[in-house]
Amino acid sequence: MAVSRGSNEASYLLPPNTEDWEEQGVPDFVYGQQELLWEGVQWPRNAPCLPDTLPLPRSRFDSAVCSAWRQRMELGLFRYCLGELQTQTLPGAVGFVAQLNVERGVQRRRPQSISSVKQAFDPEQFNFNKIRPGEVLFRLRREPDLSGVSQQEDILVMINVSPLEWGHVLLVPEPAQGLPQRLLPGALRAGLEAVLLSSHPGFRVGFNSLGGLASVNHLHLHGYYLAHRLPVERAPSEPLDPAGHLHLLQAVPAPGFLFYASGPGPDLEALISRVCRVTDYLTDREIAHNLFVTRGAPPGKTSPSSTLTGVRVILWARKSIFGIKESEAFNVALCELAGHLPVKTSQDFGSLTEAAALALIQDCMLPPAQAEEVQAALVALTAQEEP
């Protein structure tokens, strides 16, 4: 079902009768480059920034996601009803945002059996072709622009039935193709542009590789709203190559490789190509990784103001972990490395300290010697780019 750019929120809502859901079809959310918000998005100075209380008018994308997501929650399509999560900023230099999310720790789907970062897609395992029709919100489709850049895949936007936070969705490229959980340029482009379609400064997108705590081996990215600034938005960095294409992010839970784009067109396309070359390198060498996309300051700047001027992509190479460590306060994946800690139990939430959080995260990172080897290899890989 095609939906024009002038359509209202009701276009993405399900009919009242369950038997009509499949007949309705998946609505299209079609957007153009002019809807990508590169400037003017900022944090409010003294007010919460929940998706429903934006200080600025909600974008068309935010309206579509929030209205459809809320309806699916009211219809009981999630594994649990997500209320306002108890939240605290841990004392210390990092500024961890910890949230108590007991239901996710207990009720989320068990991770699949994974043994390799390069594991092939298995249609017999759970995958996103097996979900209920009502879990899909809409199809994200980009209009071709004058530069000839167009998304190669249509992206299904669907609810995560075990949400981390309000508005938690999955971006799934062409599910019927059965793509394994390996980052592709079209998927990354969709994730970057989803962040830019939102006028909410706390809408972020991320990717977990196999071995990096991806629980489903079917290509997908996560997107969700968090009404709090995170350390990775404004942490300082140092350039690793003369051209300034690759930076090392510092003063965060774990050092990560920083990529940045300040505008559309060639700048954004170069970032997508650069990041996917790096993730291909890591995947081919069985090195697990996590990726996080957020609005933030240019490399080398800390941006103390509330204005967000571009998009940061942070990539962490880490130890492979297959399965979930049930005894830990939190599992280390894309949001934890960015400074957002969904904690599983009230006891851990009440006792968690910055030092304990850093120790858990550090335990998942590569040993120093291997981390240095990876950094040198990525610098060399970046230097091979055409000027």
pLDDT tens digits, the chain, 387 residues: what are they?
A: 544 455 567 789 998 887 777 778 899 999 999 999 998 888 887 655 665 555 556 899 999 999 999 999 999 999 999 988 999 999 999 999 999 999 887 777 777 789 999 999 999 999 999 999 999 999 999 987 755 565 557 899 999 999 999 999 999 999 999 999 999 999 999 999 999 999 999 999 999 999 999 999 999 999 999 999 999 998 999 999 998 999 999 888 999 999 999 988 899 999 999 999 999 999 999 999 999 999 998 987 655 555 678 999 999 999 999 866 666 899 999 999 999 999 999 999 999 999 999 999 999 999 999 999 999 999 999 988 765
The neighbouring-strand residues paired with 42 are 307
3-class DSSP state of 224: strand
The reply to whether 218 belongs to the active site is: no
Q: Do 189 and 271 meet the contact criterion of CB atoms below 8 Å apart? A: no
Strand ranges of the sheet holding 237-239, from the earlier edge strand across to the other edge = 28-31, 136-142, 155-159, 169-173, 221-225, 203-208, 288-296, 310-318, 256-261, 247-249, 237-239
The neighbouring-strand residues paired with 155 are 140, 173
3-class DSSP state of 257: strand
- Give domain 9-383's CATH number out of 3.30.428.70, 3.20.20.70, 3.40.50.300, 3.40.47.10: 3.30.428.70
Q: Any idea which residue has 């904690």 for tokens?
A: 343
Nearest to 275 by CA among 331, 209, 320: 209
Domain extents in the chain: 9-383
Q: Do 382 and 257 meet the contact criterion of CB atoms below 8 Å apart? A: no
Per the residue annotation, which of 168, 200, 218, 220 is the catalytic one?
A: 220
Q: Do 67 and 307 meet the contact criterion of CB atoms below 8 Å apart? A: no
CA distances from 320 to 292, 314, 344 (A): 18, 18, 21
Q: Do 3 and 11 meet the contact criterion of CB atoms below 8 Å apart? A: yes
